[in-house]
Structures are given as structure tokens and as C-alpha cells.
A and B are shown apart, each in its own frame.
Chain A
Amino acid sequence: MTSPSDRHKDAYREEAVELLNELEESLLELEENPSDSTIIGRVFRALHTVKGSGSMFGYNNIAAFTHDVENTYELIRSGRLDASKEIIDLTLLARDHIRILLEADDTLSPEEAVEGERIIDSIKALLPKDALTGDALPEDALAMEGQPEGDGEDLVTGRTYRIIFSPHRDIFLKGINPAHLLEDLSALGRTYVLAHMDNIPSLEDMDPEGCYVSWDVLLTTPRPEQDVRDVFMFLDDGADITISLIDDTGQIAVESDYKKLGEILVEKGDISQKDIESIVSDRKLLGEMLVEEGLVPGSAVDSALMEQQFVKDARKQRRSLDQASTVRVPSEKLDSLVNLVSEMVTTQARLTQITHGRRDAVLTSISEEVERLTAELHDSAMNIRMVPIGSTFSKFRRLVRDLSKELGRNVNLVMEGAETELDKTVIDRLNDPMVHLIRNSLDHGIEPPDVRGSAGKHAQGTIKIAALHSGADVLVKVQDDGAGIDTKAVARKAMDLGLITPDDEVSDQDLFGLIFQPGFSTARNVSSVSGRGVGMDVVRQSVEGLRGSVECTSRKGLGSTITLRIPLTLAIIEGLLVKVEDAFFVMPLATVEECVELQSSRQLEDHGRSLVNVRGELIPYIKLREKFSVSGTRPPLEQIVIIKVDNKKVGLAVDQVVGEHQTVIKSLSRVYKDLRAISGATILGDGTVALILDLPRLLEDAELSEAIATGRETTNQPGKA
């Protein structure tokens, strides 16, 4: 069980990560428009909140570090300093440093601490001299904008109460210190306390042990009214207390602060700002007039004004909260929901199966209803996990910026389809492959500006990241207008690695496929960015781990496009269910091209390969019965399911094609983690387990055993399952 303070810390960390991401985005925008005051304001506020909440939750190092950076932006905001490239560079470094601090729970290794100091010193070196003396910056910097101070207090929302606390004269004699009660009230939420001292008589007339002060307290608290009353529980008759609710969250907020009359008139051009000001400056405020006339004491006006401001602030905060009326849910909860829904889908399939056998009209109608509801439930549960891919995209802006600087490239990053939604888990796992691809495009793709110039291209290269829907998949493309892939170089490298022989006739498409092989890199120099030959291999593995595929197209001199095809979700797939003896197998329906009968006239054996003739085309096939060592005898007529993986058509020989199956994927336990051809399991309607085939691995294994088989001149090579 986490303690409340841990929960608050977690909440702070989450919020800070978001703020830092926003900060990064704003800084990159600021780089484009260094004088845009809106962006400067955004940067400043992000820093201010990171600092303020940081110190509140005990992240003192973060608060101290951020303070100096924030000061810089205060200077920029007030026009005393320009948002130069150096400052933005340093702020980005500072942002990364805060991120490190945050991850390390506010502690730093000595080297990191030195790095932090270096950043701050470099920033300070850029500040005007007079700005360095003392704590020159106004603490109310934010207050000038009418923002609540970001000390975490502004997190408090709830109802606002007005508490009029008038202690009786003898309260001190009862051993009660009113200040303690005020402290108890502050502990409940955000308070504003105002003391009325008008009743204090002159020294001659006063009883030094009597209480002459009374208080107005405004309290915004999420706690119930009873908690507020309980503060005064032990007071008995010691005081008069009036607690009234003056602002309720439940109420629909009345837009009370629409433009003032003067503002509207000026806006419409009916009167000039100057005229308004001269009229207004002559006019006395209502409060002043009332006090002058002696109708109310000054403190009463103060109290009323304070109340006005306090409620306004409370409403403002609530509105900003309402606007973002989203609920944060830990992803484990979502996972468990999806898991339950998956179970539900399985159970519902059983129900449907049983109902079919009963011929009971009532049962059938219930079963159909359950089927419909389950489908809807499944859709909604999956939808909850969907997030726009744009959040990942925007991270790449920084990557492209930093890398192009490092590599001396001039690159424009274009993003399309950022609103395309994908499963959260998928998006998280897409990050690394995308980083690899973008690095690759920058390093191998986009040429340096002078090279581009002499090739007749625009000096600025373009990298486009795009996401779009394609059936049950999402296509994520990384496209560049760089040098493209040199097919000759790829072929040379492939021969060096023994992947092809000089006699092989390999299409360009197949050559591009080779770049995803382990250890494949045509870069002459290994740079820090890429060229170690691990990148593309890792990309393929990660994408296949998501049950997706990767494809490359390129034209020399014009650029390359890498396309990742990713399933929308990881939890459920449309599968094709097949049967070998008593064993069931499922393969993703998307990979299935067609199903044909395996007539003996169509079978061929060639160098240990089983081939089938499908309308004149010879297609190799794998006998699942042999592959998985299923006992029993082959039926007279087998079926061949033709699948297409990595642009290769392969057949799978099975006893029977059962049909389409909505497959809820269950992962296999760790015991089976070394199984290569099986990616998971699913439970069928009647409770039987079906294994889900990992087709790319199955094919790799088959190619391997085929090579061995060819060597041994035998066709019966038992596969490894």
C-alpha cells in the first residue's frame, strides 16, 4: 500500500514528466519564433510549476535547479534578454537534467551534479550583468499574470466556505488559542485569513486577557462541511461561528467575469481607451466611498474584496480542471479490464457454440444479445487503450533537431496523421524502432547540404513521419528525400555475408529486405548515430514482436521509405483456425492468401522441399503434422493454407481448415519462452487450447531445416517446435 505522500509524489512525477515534455515542445517552437510572447509565457509557466510543485513535494534539488532557469525566462519575458539559440540549447539541456533528477528521485551522482552546475553557469554567463545581483526577480512574477502561485496550493479544489469566527471575550481564559484553530482550518485546504481588529479598545480600557479580535476565513476544501465544523468542536460556547457555503463545485459555474463594459466599448471602437481611463481615474471605488462615509469599516471592505478574489480564483482553477476532465488510470487497471473482457469474449464464444446445438429460440436470442454486448464491450475496452500516436511523434522533433546539428544536416521534419490512434502498449514499444529509423534516415539518407546542392536538390532535406489506418493495421512510415539505398552496395554486402551468391538473381525488393538482416550495414564508417548494423535488425525484431511487419522501398538519389505495419491491438486478432489430428492452430487471418486442397497430382518434392502447384505457380509448403510431430495418420485429402510473409508465399499443410476465429491471445508461460514457432495460445469455445503460430519464425526454421535436409538428402526432417 502506498502512503498518501508517495501517491502525491507519484502524481507530481507524472505531472512533471508531462510538463517537461510540454516544455520541450514549447522550446522547439520558441526556437522558430524567438520573440513570441505566448510561447515564452508557456516556457516560463512550465518551469515555474515544475519548481513550485517540486519544492512542495520535497524535490528540493529540482526546485533549486529550476529556479535559476526560470529566472532566465523571467528576464526574457520582461524583454531584458533575448531568447537566443544558446539559451534555448541550454534550456533543453536543463530540461534533460531535470528529467534525470526526477528519475533519480532528486538525488544525483557527483558527475551529474557537476553537469547541472555547468548548465547553470553557462546560462548565467549569458545573462545581463545586473540580473545576477541577488534574488533580483520579483517573486510575484506569476501573480502579475493573475495566475495563482504555483506552490501546489492551486491543486486544491472543492467547495469554498466563508467562516466567520468571533471568539467570546473570555476565550483565552478557557485555554484556547484561536491561532491554533486557524491552523487547523488551513490544514483542510486553501485558506485566506483576515483578522478584524476594529474592536480593540485603547490600552486604558482594555482587558489584557480578553479577546477583541474576530476573523473571516475563506476555505476551499474537498472535505465535507462536517470536517470544517469539527475544527470548532471543543469550543463549546467560546465563540460565535457561522459557516456558509459560498461556492460549490456542483454548481454550474456562472461566467461572471465576462468582459467589462469599458472593454466592450473600446473593442467596438465606440470610445478610446484613454477616455475610459480618464473617466475611471476620477471615479472612486465603491469600497472607498463607503469607508469615507463611515458606513462600513475598512476591514469589512477588505474582507469582501478578499472574498470576491478568492472565489474568482477558486472558480478559475475549477474551470481549468473541468476543461481537462479526464481521469488518470494506471495502465495495469486497463490491462486487467482488457483481460477480463478477453475472458468474456471466450466465454461468449462457448455460449454461442452451445446454443447452436440446442435449437432453443429463447436461448438463441439471449446468446445473440450477449454476443452483441460483448462485442461492444470489447470495442470500448480496446478504445480506452487507444492513444494518438502524435505524442510519440512530437518526441522525435527534438531527436531530429539535435541529430541534424550533430551531423551537419539541414532537415525539415514533417508529421502526418498524428491523430491516428494505436494501442498504448504498441505505441510505447514503437518508440525504439522509430528512433532507429529516424537516425538512419538522417545519417544514411539525407545528404549534407552541399552534396544535396550539387545533386540539384533543395539544401534542406525532408523527413516525413506519417501514420495512417489500413484495415485492422496502422501503417507508420518514415520517409526521406535523401540518397536512397544503393542496391549494388547492398548486393555486395549480402554476398560478403553469404546471404546471396553472385549467380542469384535478386529483385530490388528482395535486396531491400536484406537490410533487415542481423549485422547488415552498408555504411562505410561506423558513426555514433548508426552504421553498426544493429539498427534495422532491431527494428524488424521489435516490429515483429508487435505482430507487425516492416517493408522498405527506395530509389537511388530520390530517397527511401520504411513502412511499419502494426496491428491496432495486441490482445485480440482475427485468426484462421486449422486442425491437425486433434491439435488446433491459429494463424493471423491477415497473412492468409487462400486455402486449396492438396491433391496428390499437385504435389512435388524437389531437393527435400515440398512444393505444391497452385495454378501454375510452385509454392513450397510446410507440413504442420511433421513440424509439430503430431501422431496419427494423414487424412486422404489434406488442405493447404497459403500465407504470405515478408513477400514470400508459403503453404501450410493441415488436416482441416476450421474457419475464422476471433482469437484472444494468451501469452505462454516463461517455461515455453524458447519456443520459436509459437507466439501464444488461445482458448476455444469448448475449452480446448489452440496454439498461435509465429509465422516468420516458422518460416525461418523451415528454411534452416530445409538447408540441413538438402545436405542430408532426406525429406523427413523433424522440426523443432
Chain B
Amino acid sequence: MPLKVTTKGNKTTLVASGPMTIQNASELRKGLLDSLKGAGKSIVLDLSGVTESDIACIQVLCAAHKSVMDKDQAIKMVGQSAEIEEALASSGILQFAGCSSKDRESCLWLASRSVGDRDLS
């Protein structure tokens, strides 16, 4: 599961592709930890190339979201593959209104659903 990181000024873009399941969870966590260390204020996550996903990796992304929030950075998701949508739906996460009770609007998944693909342009 390659994770491509590009930083331009304040904006860091993370592009994940290929399978993103329990097998890659450690790798994903490590990759995210490394790239977030040097990341700018604004982080963009592009998951449109993900071919497979499950709850384990979704948790890792939620954890990354939490870390970013703690550090006063902003993270948002652009592009989401159908496979991720499916994993979210089957895990009951789409019914969910955000992990942080203080800032529900910031939820990675919900925000990406309402903003949609328009941000890709």
C-alpha cells in the first residue's frame, strides 16, 4: 500500500492507493506518523486509488484525524473510492455523526461525503 506524500508550502497531500486493510494497518500508521511529522498546517488525504478497505484501516485514519486535531492542523479528504464507501457502510460508520463530541463537523468521513468530489478540481 504505497503512500505518496507531497508538500507544497503549508499544504501536504497524502495519496494512498492499493489495498488498505488489516494487513497494511501497521504500515499505514507508520506512514502517516512519518508524513504528519513534517506536514504543513493543511493536510489533504486522497483515497481515490484505494482498492480494498476495512474497519482496521478506517480506525487508523480516524486516529490520524485525532492527532491532527490535537496539533491544531486541519485535515480533509478529497476523493474516496467506492470500496471505502462500502467499508464505511458495512461498519455502520455512515450513520455516525463524528468521533469527537466537541467538533462533530470535522469528521473525516462525514465532511468528505458532504463536500464530495468537487474539491478534486
Contacts and interface: CB of A to CB of B under 8 A. Distances in A.
Interface of A: 172, 177-179, 182-183, 192-198, 200-206, 208-209, 211-213, 215, 217, 291, 294, 297-299, 302, 306
17 contacts: A179-B54, A179-B87, A179-B90, A193-B91, A194-B92, A195-B92, A198-B99, A203-B60, A203-B67, A204-B33, A208-B26, A208-B59, A298-B98, A298-B101, A298-B104, A299-B101, A302-B96
Contacts of A192: 95
Contacts of A302: 95-97
Contact of B97 (A179, A204, A299): A299
A194 B96 contact: yes
A306 B95 contact: yes
B29 to A, nearest CB: 4
A294 B66 CA distance: 18
Contacts of B70: 202
A177 B87 CA distance: 11
B32 interface: yes
B5 to A, nearest CB: 15
Contacts of A198: 99, 101
Given A177-B55, A182-B91, A215-B92, A197 B29 contact: no
A579 B113 CA distance: 88
Nearest to A173: B22
B64 interface: yes
B104 A197 contact: no
Nearest to A201: B63
A65 to B, nearest CB: 28
Contacts of A297: 101
Contact of B59 (A206, A215, A217, A299): A206
Interface of B: 22, 25-26, 28-29, 32-33, 36, 54-56, 59-60, 62-64, 66-67, 70, 87, 90-93, 95-99, 101, 104
A206 B63 contact: yes
A460 B58 CA distance: 72
Contacts, number: 100
B103 to A, nearest CB: 10
Contacts of A194: 92, 95-96
A209 B56 contact: yes
B97 A213 contact: no
A197 B99 contact: yes
Contacts of B25: 208-209
A203 B32 contact: yes
Name, among B29, B33, B64, B101, the residue most crowded by chain A CB atoms within 10 Å (CB to CB).
B101
B92 A202 contact: no
B62 A197 contact: yes
Name, among A179, A201, A212, A302, the residue most crowded by chain B CB atoms within 10 Å (CB to CB).
A179
Contacts of A182: 90-92
B61 to A, nearest CB: 9
Contact of B60 (A177, A178, A206, A291): A206
Contacts of B36: 203
Contacts of A178: 55, 91
Name, among B29, B56, B67, B93, the residue most crowded by chain A CB atoms within 10 Å (CB to CB).
B56
B66 A208 contact: no
Contact of B26 (A197, A200, A209, A215): A209
B104 A177 contact: no
A201 B60 CA distance: 9
Contacts of B90: 179, 182-183
Contacts of A217: 92
**9 tightest A-B CB contacts, nearest first:** A193-B92, A208-B25, A197-B99, A298-B101, A208-B29, A202-B67, A203-B67, A195-B92, A203-B63
A206 B29 contact: yes
Given A193-B92, A298-B97, 13 more contacts: A194-B92, A195-B91, A195-B95, A197-B59, A197-B99, A200-B59, A200-B99, A203-B32, A203-B33, A206-B29, A206-B59, A208-B60, A215-B91
Contacts of B87: 179
Nearest to A305: B97
A215 B94 CA distance: 12
Name, among B28, B33, B59, B93, the residue most crowded by chain A CB atoms within 10 Å (CB to CB).
B59
B104 to A, nearest CB: 6
B101 A211 contact: no
Contacts of A200: 59, 62-63, 66, 99
B76 to A, nearest CB: 17
A102 to B, nearest CB: 32
B28 to A, nearest CB: 7
Nearest to B60: A208
B16 to A, nearest CB: 14
A177 B57 CA distance: 12
Given A193-B95, A206-B60, A298-B97, A213 B55 contact: yes
Contacts of B93: 195, 197
B33 to A, nearest CB: 6
A118 B72 CA distance: 60
B64 A203 contact: yes
B96 A208 contact: no
Contacts of B99: 197-198, 200, 299
A414 B35 CA distance: 81
Contacts of B33: 203-204
A204 B70 CA distance: 11
Contacts of A208: 25-26, 28-29, 56, 59-60
A442 B96 CA distance: 63
A690 B93 CA distance: 75
A213 B54 contact: no
Contact of A179 (B28, B91, B95): B91
Contacts of B96: 194-197, 299, 302
Given A178-B91, A206-B29, A209-B22, A172 B63 contact: no
Nearest to B66: A202
A171 to B, nearest CB: 10
Contacts of A202: 63, 66-67, 70
Contacts of A298: 97-98, 101, 104
Contacts of B97: 298-299, 302
Contacts of B55: 177-179, 211, 213
A148 to B, nearest CB: 16
B114 to A, nearest CB: 15
A177 B90 CA distance: 11
A205 to B, nearest CB: 8
B56 A291 contact: no
A293 to B, nearest CB: 11
A204 B66 CA distance: 10
A326 B25 CA distance: 55
A291 B92 contact: no
A183 B26 CA distance: 26
Nearest to B97: A302
A194 B55 CA distance: 13
B12 to A, nearest CB: 15
A177 B70 CA distance: 30
